[in-house]
Amino acid sequence: MTAPPASRTAPPTVSVSGLTLRYRGTVALDDVSFRLGEGVTGLLGPNGAGKTTLLRILATATPPDRGALTVLGNDPSTVAGRQAVRRTLGYLPQSPGFHPGFTAFEFVDYVAILKELTDRRQRHQEVRRRLDDVGLADARGKRIKALSGGMRQRVALAAALVGDPSFVVLDEPTVGLDPEQRMRFRELIAEAGQGRTVLLSTHQTEDVAMLCHRVVVLDRGRIRFDGTPAELTAAAEGRVWSSDAKAQGALAGWRTGTGEFRNLGDPPGGAAILEPTLEDGYLMAIDGAAEGAMA
């Protein structure tokens, strides 16, 4: 886990209050409020929790039905505010929507043009720099359709970081990557978090444990936890135990490689208590089982 940035006491970059959004009958976000400052914050939640919806609102791609949002003091509900937010924003969406015929350079350059980097020479320099940073210096001229999944993700990250945005929104950037690529991505995201506000949506609790100074857990459109990864892990303290057979009444329990069962929930008296992991804390949060510690 990275140390909290020194500027944590600085005013928040992003402030969200009472965000609510429905899709016909589905409440995707229900009265969501939080603040983000410098550094990498993880956003964890199961499928359908509302993560992408929240990120799309933060990236000004979708307006909320209700609630207020400010990014570096700008209000995206006005046209001028939206433009100001977009100038300070880097967004890696869940499906980056590449034009497969574009080269890596052309795609990042296209995003740089949308970000209003008008001076051609400076823009091209910036595009080369971002592609170099993600290790794609030799693949600049390659067509996106000829790149591997991991390389495409790196192009998408270069596009998110072009123009040096202050606020970076990453929607599951490590999905589908092999362990080595994920490690490389962690380095890049940690670097991106230096001096910037980064919100990282992921299903990987390991990514959060290794990268984030803070974690927000979203489930069924509501925030279930907001704190440090250590606090989320501590929420499962005394709630994980081992047994020879699957424990009755456990929230979750599975046989591990040693043949013993690892159980999560309310342990029986005398149970062999195990050290919790961040994933245990996360599972408790989404089961609403550790209510005292939850938001």
Ligand X SMILES: Nc1ncnc2c1ncn2[C@@H]1O[C@H](COP(=O)(O)OP(=O)(O)OP(=O)(O)O)[C@@H](O)[C@H]1O
Q: State how far the Cα of 60 lies from the Cα of 108, in Å rounded to an integer.
A: 20
Comparison of 53 and 263: residue with beta carbon closer to ligand X: 53
Comparison of 28 and 209: residue with beta carbon closer to ligand X: 28
Per the structure block, which two tokens stand in for 52?
């992408």
Can you list the positions of beta strands (E) in 155-282?
Answer: 167-171, 197-202, 214-219, 222-227, 240-243, 252-255, 261-264, 272-273
Residues within the interface to ligand X (CB under 6 A): 23, 26, 28, 45, 47-53
Q: State how far the Cα of 200 lies from the Cα of 202, in Å rounded to an integer.
A: 6
Comparison of 44 and 134: residue with beta carbon closer to ligand X: 44
Q: CB of residue 58 vs ligand X: minimum separation in angstroms?
A: 12
Q: CB of residue 175 vs ligand X: minimum separation in angstroms?
A: 9
Q: State how far the Cα of 30 lies from the Cα of 47, in Å rounded to an integer.
A: 16
**The residue to which tokens 């936890």 are assigned:** 225
Residues 156, 90 contacting (CB under 8 angstroms): no
Q: State how far the Cα of 240 lies from the Cα of 265, in Å rounded to an integer.
A: 7
Q: CB of residue 67 vs ligand X: minimum separation in angstroms?
A: 15
Residues 133, 158 contacting (CB under 8 angstroms): yes
Per the structure block, which two tokens stand in for 108?
């990042």
Q: CB of residue 45 vs ligand X: minimum separation in angstroms?
A: 5
Q: CB of residue 2 vs ligand X: minimum separation in angstroms?
A: 24
Comparison of 25 and 141: residue with beta carbon closer to ligand X: 25
Q: CB of residue 26 vs ligand X: minimum separation in angstroms?
A: 5
Comparison of 49 and 104: residue with beta carbon closer to ligand X: 49
Q: State how far the Cα of 201 lies from the Cα of 280, in Å rounded to an integer.
A: 18
Comparison of 44 and 274: residue with beta carbon closer to ligand X: 44
